[in-house]
Amino acid sequence: MISIRPAAVADAARLTEAYRSNRQFLAPWVPTRDEAFFTVEGQRERLERAERDRRDGTGYSCVIEYEGQLAGTITLSAIERGVAQTAHLGYWVAEEVNGRGVATQAVSRILDVAFGELGLHRVQAATLVRNTGSQRVLERNGFEVIGLARSYLKIAGEWQDHRLFQRIGAP
């Protein structure tokens, strides 16, 4: 029912439509986007970067599919090797599937990739303080709160506080 797979340039049109139809729903939770972001060309450029990052080992971007439909994205970014073996997790799901466990299952699947195929030791995530739904997704997947970051990211046009979470993989 729910799957994740590496994002590809061929997903540009479907991803553009998903972002357009969820623009208002996502607005309080994401950075302010310019109009180019909501175009097929803008998405194609993002997906080309994501493919380069995957080849370079610095990122791993996936689409989330629910019942065969594109339902969001999930990404491991800023992958560090050496002594850290860590990445940052980010995700979103479409309004129409929100609250159905899609994000929880997608996070579980990307953690399998992170701690399995990618051999990472730690995955970090940050949520807006008021985003209790996303916090529940992380907690259901074994993340622990590690702190509060004041003015951490510029979301919806304002520097906002975030709760920081981490999950450590099996030794």
Neighbours of 34 (CB within 10 A): 8
pLDDT digits (tens, 9 = 90+) for 49-75: 999 999 999 999 999 999 999 999 999
pLDDT at 1: 86
E strand or H helix at 51:
helix 40-56
Domains of the chain, CATH where assigned = 2-121 (3.40.630.30)
Could you tell me which of 37, 33, 117, 125 has the C-alpha nearest to residue 76? 125
pLDDT over threshold 80, residue 170:
no
Could you tell me which of 83, 77, 94 has the C-alpha nearest to residue 2? 94
Assigned token pair, 157: 């046009």
Once rounded to an integer, what is the mean pLDDT over residues 144-164?
96
Once rounded to an integer, what is the mean pLDDT over residues 41-53?
97
pLDDT over threshold 90, residue 133:
yes
Residue that has been written with the tokens 């994501």 in this structure: 50
pLDDT digits (tens, 9 = 90+) for 70-121: 999 999 999 999 999 999 999 999 999 999 999 999 999 999 999 999 999 9
Percent of the chain with pLDDT over 90: 97
Percent of the chain with pLDDT over 70: 99
For all residues of the chain together, what is the average pLDDT?
96
pLDDT at 171: 56
Let me know how many helices (H) and strands (E) the chain has, helices first. Answer: 5, 7
Assigned token pair, 148: 């509060």
DSSP secondary structure letters along 101-134 = THHHHHHHHHHHHHHTTT--SEEEEEEETT-HHH
